[in-house]
Structure 1
Amino acid sequence: MPNQSTLSIPNIKTLDKRVYSSYPDLVRLQNQAMSFTLLPHLHAANSMSGRHLSLFRGRGLNFEELRHYQLGDDIRSLDWKVTMRTGKPHVRVYSEEKDRHFLILVDQRSGMFFSSQHTMKSVVAAEIAALSAWRILKDGDRVGLCIAGTRQVQWQSASRSQAKLLTQLKQLETYNQRLSVASVDEPQVSFSHWLRELSSRALKQTTILVISDWSGCSEQDIRHLKQLQQHNDILSVMVLDPFEAQLPEEVAYQGWVVGDGTHQLSLDSRQKVSKASQYLFDQKRKQLQHLTRLMAIKQLPNIVLSTDGTHISAYKRAVGGV
């Protein structure tokens, strides 16, 4: 297995880090993959919690404790030396190690190429995906990336190989830097198609991390996620820009025209701006409510990150770091 120590990245001229992600920057994020642990709220007895008490066979056995024999204990676990010395039967308790498999779904579709503040949503998603992947690898678990671009969705199987992770980060850079104001999504990369393909893979005992603005997510999609959650753990990360929940009033005086690639709307009055803002607010509130209820099933946080440039620290705090 390749050495997981910090890699030496050559100094090269990079793009604006607020607009595009670069491979060297994604690799350097391994230096920040400390002081937090993914999914700390999972119960230790959960079979998906990785290297904890589990019914599934893994890489070995960890000694947990020595305790008095209880009715139903396997007599093969008796510690005869302690039993003879104390005169009372004692058993040695072990827990089985089990690798946790992670699949990180990272959204790099056209709608992610937007920000009204500091950092593009696409950059936020890419950096959180890379940071999470490094943390997972440092924990000795398996990780794979699923990247949704404007034309296709690329799936990678989970692996503990650092070399494979580096290859995936290079692919993530490629998808990220393909985005522009002219980008248009193909129908096969819609959020619903993305989830249907995920469901068709019949994943079990996998932790699925979804990093997206959740644009296009419907109630039916939430139902698909609930079904997936019966055999997996799902952690939601919503990348949200303030403009997506409320438009500033001054937009009415700046001649803005907004569109979705098919339809356009001229925001040339305060009334239109107010109606558009209310619609955006209602849509995002509905999505947040659905996701919050979904995360509550497994007592996980519903993480919302902004484009204000504080996403790394905010993400660490949200998953229980410092």
Structure 2
Amino acid sequence: MVPKEVLQKIRRIQIRTSHKVDELLAGNWHSAFKGRGIEFEEVRPYQVGDDVRAIDWNVTARSDQPFIKLFHEERELSVMLLVDLSASQAFGTGEQTKRDIVAELGATLAMSAIRNNDKVGLTLFTDDVEKSIPPRKGPRHVLRLIHELLYCSPVGSGTSIKQALQHLNRTCKRRTVVFLISDFIDNDYESVLKISGRKHDIVPIVVHDPREINMPNVGMIKLRDAESGETIRLDTSNRKNRQLFEKLARQQSEERDRLFRRIKLAPIHVTTDGDVVETLRKYFHQREARR
């Protein structure tokens, strides 16, 4: 039996994101991704006027006459949310933590998919896969996803994007639109991300807090790595310390974005003090224009 206060919180986020979904759908959610779900249907003999690029050379070689491949475009999408629940998601210096934004993002995207009659699934991960729910349709299904986004208590505390993507590649056989939601405080995932990007339509969503880049002058503070537990003391009143902190943070951010460019992925950047729907809508509009 789900406690009443839990149901009330799920209902509140459902109502809040419902209005945002209407805005997002007006921002061309479906048209931004259409045409990617192309599946092989059958082969038939080549006819005059057919596109020679569609010739199936293997069948042609076996039969001594030209055959072409026929494809059909799927009307519905299969969407998977890969969501990072590592300990670093608990960080936030404003009204919301990164975990709050991650839950709002996941709920908004899940409801957008359901409203478009698409299937949507969820994989929650830390340094291992914590929970995986296959893509399905329906309002009851999306409420289950929202519940897991809000209340899943992860066992692990670290981050392994590699593990999450390997699980995706094993379990999702058909081409899927994948929203990879994380702060990307991790390494050693480029090769598997490249493999996943060839098979699926990967959209990285980078969630961060402004204070992870810009350190304010607040005197002597203790910084603790949420994932490793390591702590250091930093004198933020020292200008050189603040500049070094910001320099290292920007280097990490730039290296991550260079990695995305190498794999030809276009990330979405979301901050804990930003407007989630406006950020998503701009991205989908830009993506539709590129297509």
TM range (shorter): 0.7 to 0.9
- Of 214, 229, 235, the match for 2:184: 214
Q: Which residue of 2 aligns with 1:30?
A: 18
- Of 21, 25, 49, the match for 1:71: 49
Percent identity between matched residues is: 19
Q: Which residue of 2 aligns with 1:115?
A: 92
- The 2-side partners of 1:100 and 1:32 are apart by 20
Q: Which residue of 2 aligns with 1:192?
A: 162
- Of 256, 276, 280, the match for 1:287: 256
Structure 1's consecutive aligned runs of 4 or more residues displaced over 6 angstroms after TM superposition are none
- The 2-side partners of 1:70 and 1:199 are apart by 39
Q: CA separation of 1:37/1:203 partners in 2, compared to 1, >3 Å: closer, same or farther?
A: farther
TM-score (norm 1): 0.68
- The 1-side partners of 2:128 and 2:167 are apart by 15
Contact 1:56 1:96 in 2 (8 A): no
Matches within 5 A, 1:1-322: 22-28=9-15, 29-34=17-22, 35-38=26-29, 40-42=31-33, 44=35, 46=36, 48=37, 54-56=38-40, 71-72=49-50, 97-148=74-125, 153-175=130-152, 178=153, 185-186=156-157, 190-201=160-171, 203-216=173-186, 218=187, 220-248=188-216, 250-251=217-218, 253=219, 255-260=220-225, 261-268=228-235, 269-296=238-265, 301-320=266-285
Q: Deviations over 1:200-221 (max 9, x none)?
A: 43643111111111111x2x31
Q: Deviations over 1:241-295 (max 9, x none)?
A: 11212312x13x2x11112143222112433333222111111111122224434
Q: May I ask how many residue pairs the two structures share in their alignment?
A: 250
Give 1 or 2 for the bigger CA radius of gyration: 1
1:206 is aligned with what amino acid? T
- The 2-side partners of 1:302 and 1:155 are apart by 23
Q: CA separation of 1:262/1:108 partners in 2, compared to 1, >3 Å: closer, same or farther?
A: closer
- The 1-side partners of 2:102 and 2:140 are apart by 21
Contact 1:208 1:235 in 2 (8 A): yes
Contact 1:105 1:145 in 2 (8 A): yes
1:265 is aligned with what amino acid? I
- How far apart are residue 163 of structure 1 and its match? 1.4
- The 2-side partners of 1:98 and 1:275 are apart by 51
- The 2-side partners of 1:205 and 1:288 are apart by 24
Contact 2:98 2:209 in 1 (8 A): yes
Contact 2:127 2:160 in 1 (8 A): no
- The 2-side partners of 1:96 and 1:201 are apart by 22
Query: Which blocks of at least 5 consecutive residues in structure 2 are unaligned?
Result: 42-46, 52-70, 287-291
Q: Deviations over 1:290-313 (max 9, x none)?
A: 2244344xxxx4210111142222
